[in-house]
Structure 1
Amino acid sequence: MRRALLALTFTVAAMLCMAAPASAHNVLISTDPGKNASLDTGPAKVTLTFDAPVQGGDINQISVLGPGNTQWAEGTVDISSNVISAPVRPLGPAGTYTVGYRILSADGHAVSGEYTFTLTKAGNGTPATANAATGASQQSSSAATGVPLWVWIAGAVILLGIGLSLALRMGRKVE
């Protein structure tokens, strides 16, 4: 009985340790243009770098909202492993621009956020149409399209269950 309790304790501890990475969502680690940056001219594209690969899918979006809540990002989101980017129209009025994003994290959960940068000199661009917010992402050919994380976790749980079953059977005394 003592051996079974010890095996059960180790199995539960192993399952908890292995399940921890599943709750970790992608974290934004760098941006171009930078957070709170002041620019004389608008960027041609917005690039966001995360700590883990971004999964492909229609959920991946980048928007650039300028003064008057006008949309400046236009086109599809490009994904290359942990870096996503979207083209930006030539910017117009000087002021604060908000970059918003929504991605499909490596663990399968949606992650969203935003940051701002400031355009110090007005440009001569015109905003995109209302329905031009970037979406319909395209997975880069160099990006890995591996097996979802939940499959690995399920496999680990099954293997641990088999191991526990074998340990309990081998630990029994033959009478």
Structure 2
Amino acid sequence: MPLFPSSVRNAVMAVSVLFMALAGAQPAMAHSVLVSSDPAKDASLASAPAAVTLVFNEPLDRGFTELAVLGPDGTSRWEGGPPVVTGEKLSAPLRALGSAGVYTVKYRVVSADGHPVSGSVPFTLTTAGLGTAAAPKVRTETAVADDNVPVWPWIAGAALVALAGAFVARRIAKP
């Protein structure tokens, strides 16, 4: 007499095939992608723009959106207000810029699929302005990393737990 009934062997085989199929699957690339920016990436400007605007390939989630404009020293902040999300656009007003040099627009948005996407857009101010940087912000939250954890281990684990539960239930039901 076999150790396991044929129905249990068939279920184990089905779960194994499912697990192997999902193990090779790659997650869908449905993350937001930066399409354009104003000022454009690596642009050289003689005068400071009044605002920055980033345009993505899909509407953005309004929650957890971050935008910072860092000055040539890498720490001074130049955004003049909170970021605004309108569909696929993320924008913020700018303070009058100060010294000439490379300014960096750093962003972090949440894609429609719920994954965070971050990046930066540098531009150069060729003529110094008269502005002063905003007071430094104190960050109290911890940084969030985009771990890109695949979903297949969760599905496979759930299938294995269900299979184990079915096996135990069959064993208990038999006299």
TM-score between the two structures when normalised by the length of structure 1: 0.62
Bigger relative contact order, structure 1 or 2, given CA contacts below 8 A and separation 6+? 1
Structure-2 residue corresponding to 1:139: none
Instruction: Give the secondary-structure state (helix, strand or coil) at the position aligned to 2:83.
Output: strand
Identity of aligned residues (%): 48
Give unpaired runs (5+ residues) of structure 1. Answer: 1-7, 134-175
Compute the RMSD of aligned alpha carbons. Answer: 3.2
Indicate which of 51, 61, 75 corresponds to 2:81: 75
The 8 Å contact of residues 74 and 132 in structure 1, kept in 2 or not, is answered as no
Note if contact 1:41-1:123 (Cα within 8 Å) is conserved in structure 2. yes
- How many pairs are equivalent? 126
Structure-to-structure mapping, 1:100-139, within 5 angstroms? 100-131=106-137
| Structure 2 unaligned regions, length at least 5 | 1-13, 140-175
How far off its partner does 1:106 sit?
A: 1.0
1:25-174 equivalence runs, <5 A: 25-57=31-63, 59-68=64-73, 69-131=75-137
Q: How many angstroms apart in 2 are the aligned matches of 1:50 and 1:132?
A: 28
Q: Which has the larger radius of gyration?
A: 2
In the TM superposition, what is the alpha-carbon distance from 1:20 to its structure 2 partner?
5.8
Q: 2: CA distance between counterparts of 1:132 and 1:116?
A: 23
Letter matched to residue 72 of structure 2:
P
1:74, CA displacement in angstroms?
Answer: 2.8
Q: What letter is aligned with 1:108? A: G
Contact 1:26-1:52 within 8 A present in 2 as well? yes
What is the rounded CA distance, in whole Å, between the counterparts of 2:34 and 2:87 in structure 1? 13
Does the Cα contact within 8 Å between 1:73 and 1:87 map onto a contact in 2? Answer: yes
The 3-state SS of whatever aligns with 2:62 is coil
Do 1:72 and 1:128's aligned partners in 2 also have CA atoms closer than 8 Å?
yes
**Within 2, Cα distance between the matches of 1:132 and 1:42?**
26
CA deviation profile, 1:47-74 (whole Å, cap 9, x unmatched): 00000110111x2011111122211013
**Segments of 4+ moved more than 3 angstroms:** none
Using the size of structure 2 for normalisation, the TM-score is 0.62
TM-aligned CA deviation for residue 45 of structure 1: 0.7
Q: After superposition, give the CA deviation of every residue in 1:89-119 in whole Å (9 maximum; x if it has no partner).
A: 0100000101100001111011000121000
> For residues 108 and 63 of structure 1, what CA distance do their matches in structure 2 show?
21
1:129-148 CA-to-partner distances (Å, cap 9, x unmatched) read 11189xxxxxxxxxxxxxxx
Aligned equivalents of 1:36, 1:70: Cα separation in 2 = 19
Cα distance in structure 2, aligned partners of 1:67 and 1:113:
17
The residue type equivalent to 2:82 in the other structure is T
CA–CA distance in structure 1, aligned partners of residues 65 and 106 of structure 2: 11
Return 33-42 or 65-74, whichever deviates more: 65-74
